[in-house]
Chains A and B, each alone.
Chain A
Amino acid sequence: MTKPSNVLIFKTAVLESMKELGRLPLWWYTTGLKQTFGKLLHSVAESVRYFGVDVWSKNLFVPMYGDASITGRLISFIVRFFVLLARSLGVLLWTVVAGILAVVYVFLLPVSVIGFVSHLIGVL
C-alpha cells in the first residue's frame, strides 16, 4: 500500500482544519442546528417512553392488581395519579435539560468567538 509521508499528513491536516474552520459557522446554523435539535427532540420523545407516561396516562382509571372494587378503584386512581405526576416530572425535567442544551447550542459559537477575542485583546 502506498503510504503518505508525515509531511503530507501534516500539510493536509493544516489545510483541512482551515477548510473546516471556514465551513463551521454556516454548518452550525444549518445542518448542525437541524441535527442537534432533531436529536434533542428525539431524546424528549424517548424520555416519555422511558418514564412510561403514555402507558400510565392511558391506564389512569384502570384498577391496579385487578382489584375492581370501588375502594380498589379509588386507591388505584389516587396512586396512579401521583405516580403519573412523578413520572411526568421526570419527563419535564429532561425537557428542561434538553431546552437548556438547545439554547447553549444556539449561543455557544458566537458567544465563544466574541468572548475569546475580546478577552484576549483585553489581557494583551
Chain B
Amino acid sequence: MPEFEVQLDGKSYSWSAFMDEEHVRERSARLSASKLLSGVAFGKLVVAGLITLVLLFVQGFSSVLTSAFWVDPSWTGVFLYATGLFVAFLYFHQSLVGTLSAVMPTGSEEVPEVVSFQSEGTHVNLADLFSADATASIERAFELATKFGHKNVELLHIFVGTIDASDVSVVFGRLGLSFADLQDAVGRRLQTRELGKPPRLSLEGERVFLEAFRRAVSEDRSEISSLEIFAGVYEQDAFIRELFLDKGVDETKFHNMIAWLRIHENMRERYKQSRKAAMYKPTGPMNRAMTSIATPMLDAVSEDLTTAAVSGRLPMMIDRESQVEEIFRVIEGGRQSVVLVGPEGVGKSTVLAGIADLMVREEVPKILQDRRLVRISIPHLVSGANPSQAQERLLQIFSEVARSRNIILAITDIDQLVAQGTTEATDLGATLVDFLSRSGTFAIATTTSQAYTRLVERSILGRSFQKVDLLEPDQESAIHMLQSKIGSIEYEHNVIFTYEAVEKAVTLSDRYMHETYLPKKAIEVAREAGLQVSKTKGEDALVTGEDVASIVSSKTGIPTMSVAEDEKDKLLSLEDKMHGRVIGQDEAVKAVASALRRARTDLRSQGRPIATFLFLGPTGVGKTELAKTVAETYFGDENMMIRMDMSEYQEASSINRLLGAPGSNQGGLLTEAVRKQPFAIVLLDELEKAHPDILNVFLQVFEDGRLTDSVGRTIDFTNTIVISTSNAGTQYIQDAVARGDSMETIKTQLIEEELQGIYRPEFLNRFDGIIVFKPLTPDDVKEITKIFMSAVATRLEPKGIGFTAEESAVAELAERGFDPKFGARPLRRLVQEEVDNAIANALLEGNVRRRDRIVLEAGGKIRIEKGVEL
C-alpha cells in the first residue's frame, strides 16, 4: 500500500512495486522472455516467408492470380497464411515493447505537490514509468539493503544504487569525483542503519521517487531516468549534500551540473528535430513556392544563414528565447526592422543563427515563413568601390531583394554603414532606410552598444530600426552557454572538461577580464585551456579548474590559481621578507602583510581594491620602498606599479589628464594605465598636493573599485592595491616622536587634528589603513646602511669579486648619511659617492681581479685582499 501519490489529470500516480529478490528476478525474466519472443517470432516469419517463396517459385508465380491458389488447400497456402499470422503477432508484440505499459503525462506546466495516498482515480504504478537504467538503480539499492540486512531502503541506499547509472557516472566524472572519494563516509553511515528483514522502501525513498516523477513531468521527459532519482536524493538528504559539500561541490554547482546533462540532451533532441525539418527547407536561393528570383549580386556579398542552418553549421542558441520573442514581436507588430544592440561577444550572431534555425523549422511568425535569412557583409559590399559605386551596388542588391520577396536581410555591424564618415557614406544608411520603408520588407541588424550610441542612435537608421537590447548574460546563463559549446571543444582537442573548469572559465573571466564580454571570453578561455591541456597532458586528459585558471593568469598577469604549498609559506612569512628591505616600521609592515594575506585567500570584499593604504611620514623613511616591496612580493615584480605624482594634479582641470578629456576618444593617464595593467600597485605620491576634486575621484575608486573614463569605459580597480603617500603632518610626527609619544596617540592626533584641513574625514575613513611611518633612529639607519652594502656586494658578485664593509665603516657611513629632515635618502647618494666611486677606480686601475675581496674601511678607504691564485 503506497503512502504518497501525485494526482494529475484525474490519475493517481504512486509507487507500488515489490523489489524483493523474487520480484526482481521475475521482472528480469519477463524482459528476457520478451526479447526471446521477438526473436523467435521474427525467425519464424522469415522462415515461413522463405518457404512460401520457394514453393511459389516451384509452382509458378502466376498461380497467385487463380482463386484456387487461395482456396484449395496446399502447403504454399499454409506457409503464406502462417507468414500473415507471424506478421500480425510481431506487429502486436513490438508495439507492446515500444510503449511502456504506462504513459508519462505531458503538457503539464504545474505538477501538483506530493500528497498522502487516498486512492482516488485511476491508479498508475510509477515503477512502469522508470527507464531500464533507473529500474536497475532501484534494484541495486534493494540489493544493497538486503546485503547489509537493513530494515529500510533509505535515501543512502538509493544514492549508492544510482552511482553506476550512465548519466550519474557522467556527473561524477565531470565533477572530478569518483565513488572511492565518498566510499568511506558512505560505508560508516551504512553501518549505523537499523537492521531487519526483508528490506522495505522507506517513506523518504518513496517520496524521492514521486519527486523524481514530478521533475520528469515538468521537464517533459518520456520516462523517469536515474538522473532524476539522483537529483531527488541529493535534494532530500542533508547527509548526501554535506558529502558533496565536503568535496567542494555546493548546491549551485550540483544543479548546474545536472543542467549540463539536460542541455546536452535538449541539444540532441533539437538537432534531431532540425535535421527532420531541414528535409523540407530548400537550400538554394529559390523558395519552395518558386516565387523568388536569382540574386547574383546579393549572393556575392552575403551568406545565406538558413542554408547554413539546414546543413547544421550554425551554433545552437541557449537562454536567449526572450530576446528572440521580442524580435518577433517587433517584426509582427508593424515597426518592422530590428537592431540588436549589445557589447562585442554577448552572442548577437548566435541570436541570428537561432532565428535562422527557427526559420528552418518554420517555428516563426507567418511573415518569416518560407523565407531565407541572408547576412550581408558590409566590408565586402564597399571594398574596392568608391562611395557612389558602393551605393550603386547596394541599390542593385535591394532591387534583387525586393523582386525576390523571400529574403530577410541580416546586417551585422550596421554602424559600418554610417561609420564611413563621409557624406556619401551616410547616404548608404539613408538608402537602406528608404528601401525598407518602400519595399515593405525588413531587416535584422546588429551593432555594439558603443557604436549604437555614437553612430546609429541619432542617425536616420536609429529612427527606423527598433532597438532590442542584448545584455551580457549572468554567470549562470553563461555557464549554460559554455556548456553547450564544450562538446565541440572536447571533440576538437580530444580532452574532457570537468564542471569546475567550465565554471572557472566563466567566473574568472568575468572577474578578471573586463575588456571583453561573456560568454565569448569564457568560450575563448575554455578553448585555449583545451588546447593547452591536449598539448601538455596528451589525449583524453582532464581539463581542470587549475588549467583554466592558469590560462586566465597568463592572459591577465593576475595569479588566479589556488594558493600552492610554496606560496603558502611565502604568504605566512611576508613580514620577514618585507623586513629584508624596509627597516623599522613594524606596524606598517604588519598592516600591509595582513591585507595581502586576506586578498590572496579571497577573504576581502570583491567590489573594492585589494587594499587601500595611506602612508604618512617624513621623507626618506621607507614609504616608497615599502610600496615597491609589496609590488615585488605580491605582484611578482617591483615594476608592477603605476606611479602617479599627485603634485602634477594641483589644478581642477587636470582631472582630464587623469581620466581623459571629454570627447577626445582617448582614456586618461591613470585609467589607461590601470586598463592595461589591472593587477598592480597604484602609487599616489604626495597625495596632499592634489586638488580636492581629484580626491573625490579617488573616493569613488576606494568605495566601488572602479572609475569611468572619458570614453565611457568602466575601469576596474578591484585587482589593484592603492597606496597613497603623504608628507602632511610630518613636522608634528617628528616633534611627537621626539617627545616620546606613543604611535597610537600620534595616529589619533594626526587623524583628528593635523590632517583635518588637508583631507575630509570621509576620505580618510575610506582607507583600509592609515599607517604612520616613524622617523628613523640611528640604529635603523645603520641597518639600512648594511642593506646598501649587501646591495654593493650583490652587484660585484657576477665579476667574481667579494665585498665586505667593516663595522666602523658602516657606522661612519650611517652617521654621515643620516639627515633628520630627509631620512635615509642622503645615504644612497653617499654610498654612491664614497663606496661605488672608490670601487670603480680600483676596477679601472686593474688592482682587483677575480676571487679578490674588497674591504671597506672607516674613512672611505678600501683595502683589497688578494684571492688565491689558480
How many angstroms between the C-alpha atoms of A28 and B75 in the bound complex?
27
Q: Which of A4, A49, A111 has the most CB of B within 10 A?
A: A4
- Chain B neighbourhood of A67, CB < 8 A: 293
- Chain B neighbourhood of A12, CB < 8 A: 26, 29-30, 32-33
Name A15-60 residues within 8 Å CB distance of B: 16-17, 20-21, 23-24, 27-28, 32, 35, 49-50, 52, 55-56, 58-59
Q: Which listed segment binds A: B84-92, B174-182, B491-499, B699-707? A: B84-92
How many angstroms between the C-alpha atoms of A32 and B87 in the bound complex?
13
How many angstroms between the C-alpha atoms of A9 and B95 in the bound complex?
21
The answer to whether A116 touches B92 (Cβ under 8 A) is: no
Taking chain B's interface residues, is the majority helix, strand, or loop, or is none over half, making it mixed?
Answer: helix
B25 at the interface (CB under 8 A from A): yes
Q: What is the minimal beta-carbon distance from B744 to any residue of chain A, in angstroms?
A: 74
- Chain A neighbourhood of B34, CB < 8 A: 13, 16
How many angstroms between the C-alpha atoms of A50 and B288 in the bound complex?
11
* Known contacts A2-B24, A16-B37; A119 and B290 CB within 8 A of each other: no
Name the contact of A28 in the complex, choosing from B88, B294, B405 (C-beta under 8 A).
Answer: B88
Q: What is the minimal beta-carbon distance from B722 to any residue of chain A, in angstroms?
A: 65
Name B455-514 residues within 8 Å CB distance of A: none
- Chain B neighbourhood of A123, CB < 8 A: 73-75, 78
* Known contacts A35-B95, A55-B289, A119-B78; A13 and B33 CB within 8 A of each other: yes
- Chain B neighbourhood of A1, CB < 8 A: 24, 28, 136, 139-140, 143
The answer to whether B30 touches A16 (Cβ under 8 A) is: yes
B688 at the interface (CB under 8 A from A): no
The answer to whether B289 touches A66 (Cβ under 8 A) is: no
B123 at the interface (CB under 8 A from A): no
Name the contact of A115 in the complex, choosing from B24, B81, B91 (C-beta under 8 A).
Answer: B81
* Known contacts A9-B29, A17-B37, A118-B73; A62 and B291 CB within 8 A of each other: yes
Number of A-B residue pairs with CB-CB distance less than 8 Å in the complex they form: 132
A8 at the interface (CB under 8 A from B): yes
The answer to whether A66 touches B292 (Cβ under 8 A) is: yes
The size of the chain B interface, using a CB distance under 8 A, is: 50
A64 at the interface (CB under 8 A from B): yes
The answer to whether B143 touches A2 (Cβ under 8 A) is: yes
B393 at the interface (CB under 8 A from A): no
Of chain A, the residue at the smallest CB distance from B20 is A2
Of chain A, the residue at the smallest CB distance from B402 is A66
- Chain B neighbourhood of A16, CB < 8 A: 30, 33-34, 37
A108 at the interface (CB under 8 A from B): yes
A82 at the interface (CB under 8 A from B): no
Q: Which of B95, B288, B291 has the most CB of A within 10 A?
A: B291
Name A46-91 residues within 8 Å CB distance of B: 49-50, 52, 55-56, 58-59, 62-67, 80
- Chain B neighbourhood of A108, CB < 8 A: 84, 87-88
B370 at the interface (CB under 8 A from A): yes
B57 at the interface (CB under 8 A from A): no
- Chain B neighbourhood of A52, CB < 8 A: 280, 288-289
How many angstroms between the C-alpha atoms of A118 and B74 in the bound complex?
10
Q: What is the minimal beta-carbon distance from B535 to any residue of chain A, in angstroms?
A: 43
- Chain A neighbourhood of B405, CB < 8 A: 66
The answer to whether A119 touches B29 (Cβ under 8 A) is: no
B262 at the interface (CB under 8 A from A): no
A103 at the interface (CB under 8 A from B): no
The answer to whether B78 touches A120 (Cβ under 8 A) is: yes
* Known contacts A1-B140, A20-B93; A119 and B81 CB within 8 A of each other: yes
How many angstroms between the C-alpha atoms of A11 and B37 in the bound complex?
12
- Chain A neighbourhood of B73, CB < 8 A: 118-123
- Chain B neighbourhood of A3, CB < 8 A: 25, 28
Q: Which of B26, B84, B140, B280 has the most CB of A within 10 A?
A: B84
- Chain A neighbourhood of B30, CB < 8 A: 12, 16
Q: What is the minimal beta-carbon distance from A108 to any residue of chain B, in angstroms?
A: 6
- Chain B neighbourhood of A63, CB < 8 A: 291
* Known contacts A63-B291, A123-B74; A49 and B32 CB within 8 A of each other: no
- Chain B neighbourhood of A20, CB < 8 A: 37, 89, 92-93, 96
The answer to whether A56 touches B280 (Cβ under 8 A) is: no
B82 at the interface (CB under 8 A from A): yes
The answer to whether B89 touches A21 (Cβ under 8 A) is: yes
* Known contacts A1-B140, A116-B82, A120-B78; A65 and B89 CB within 8 A of each other: no
How many angstroms between the C-alpha atoms of A101 and B37 in the bound complex?
25
- Chain A neighbourhood of B88, CB < 8 A: 24, 28, 108-109, 112
- Chain B neighbourhood of A65, CB < 8 A: 290, 292-294
Name the contact of B92 in the complex, choosing from A32, A59, A80, A120 (C-beta under 8 A).
Answer: A32
Of chain B, the residue at the smallest CB distance from A16 is B33
Q: What is the minimal beta-carbon distance from A37 to any residue of chain B, in angstroms?
A: 13
Taking chain A's interface residues, is the majority helix, strand, or loop, or is none over half, making it mixed?
Answer: helix
- Chain B neighbourhood of A111, CB < 8 A: 81, 84
- Chain B neighbourhood of A122, CB < 8 A: 72-74
The answer to whether A8 touches B291 (Cβ under 8 A) is: no
- Chain B neighbourhood of A2, CB < 8 A: 21, 24-25, 28, 143
Of chain B, the residue at the smallest CB distance from A123 is B73
Name the contact of A24 in the complex, choosing from B40, B81, B92, B290 (C-beta under 8 A).
Answer: B92
- Chain A neighbourhood of B40, CB < 8 A: 13
- Chain B neighbourhood of A50, CB < 8 A: 279-280
* Known contacts A4-B28, A16-B33, A20-B96; A62 and B289 CB within 8 A of each other: yes
- Chain B neighbourhood of A27, CB < 8 A: 92
The answer to whether A4 touches B25 (Cβ under 8 A) is: yes
Q: What is the minimal beta-carbon distance from B760 to any residue of chain A, in angstroms?
A: 74
Q: Mark B407-425, 1 if CB is under 8 A from A, else 0.
A: 0000000000000000000
Name the contact of B85 in the complex, choosing from A62, A66, A112 (C-beta under 8 A).
Answer: A112
- Chain A neighbourhood of B136, CB < 8 A: 1
- Chain B neighbourhood of A21, CB < 8 A: 89
Q: What is the minimal beta-carbon distance from B459 to any residue of chain A, in angstroms?
A: 31
Name the contact of B33 in the complex, choosing from A9, A24, A113 (C-beta under 8 A).
Answer: A9
The answer to whether A66 touches B28 (Cβ under 8 A) is: no
B77 at the interface (CB under 8 A from A): yes
The answer to whether A58 touches B26 (Cβ under 8 A) is: no
- Chain B neighbourhood of A116, CB < 8 A: 78, 81-82, 84-85
How many angstroms between the C-alpha atoms of A113 and B80 in the bound complex?
11
The answer to whether B78 touches A66 (Cβ under 8 A) is: no
How many angstroms between the C-alpha atoms of A113 and B84 in the bound complex?
8
The answer to whether B77 touches A119 (Cβ under 8 A) is: yes
Of chain B, the residue at the smallest CB distance from A114 is B81
How many angstroms between the C-alpha atoms of A28 and B87 in the bound complex?
12
- Chain B neighbourhood of A11, CB < 8 A: 29
How many angstroms between the C-alpha atoms of A113 and B85 in the bound complex?
7
- Chain B neighbourhood of A118, CB < 8 A: 73
How many angstroms between the C-alpha atoms of A119 and B78 in the bound complex?
5
Of chain B, the residue at the smallest CB distance from A117 is B81
How many angstroms between the C-alpha atoms of A24 and B30 in the bound complex?
18
Of chain B, the residue at the smallest CB distance from A27 is B92
B734 at the interface (CB under 8 A from A): no
Name B282-331 residues within 8 Å CB distance of A: 288-294
The answer to whether A64 touches B84 (Cβ under 8 A) is: no
B763 at the interface (CB under 8 A from A): no
- Chain A neighbourhood of B74, CB < 8 A: 119, 122-123
How many angstroms between the C-alpha atoms of A78 and B92 in the bound complex?
48
The answer to whether B403 touches A64 (Cβ under 8 A) is: no
Q: Mark B31-58, 1 if CB is under 8 A from A, else 0.
A: 0111011001000000000000000000
B70 at the interface (CB under 8 A from A): yes
Q: Which 4 A-B pairs have the closest CB atoms?
A: A122-B73, A112-B84, A115-B81, A116-B81
Using CB atoms and an 8 Å cutoff, list the residues of chain B in contact with chain A: 21, 24-26, 28-30, 32-34, 36-37, 40, 70, 72-75, 77-78, 80-82, 84-85, 87-89, 91-93, 95-96, 136, 139-140, 143, 279-280, 288-294, 370, 403-405
14 cross-chain CB contacts under 8 A: A9-B29, A12-B26, A13-B36, A13-B40, A16-B34, A49-B280, A52-B280, A55-B289, A59-B291, A65-B293, A66-B293, A115-B81, A119-B73, A119-B78
Given A9-B36, A112-B88; 5 other pairs, CB 8 A cutoff: A23-B92, A32-B95, A55-B289, A56-B289, A64-B291
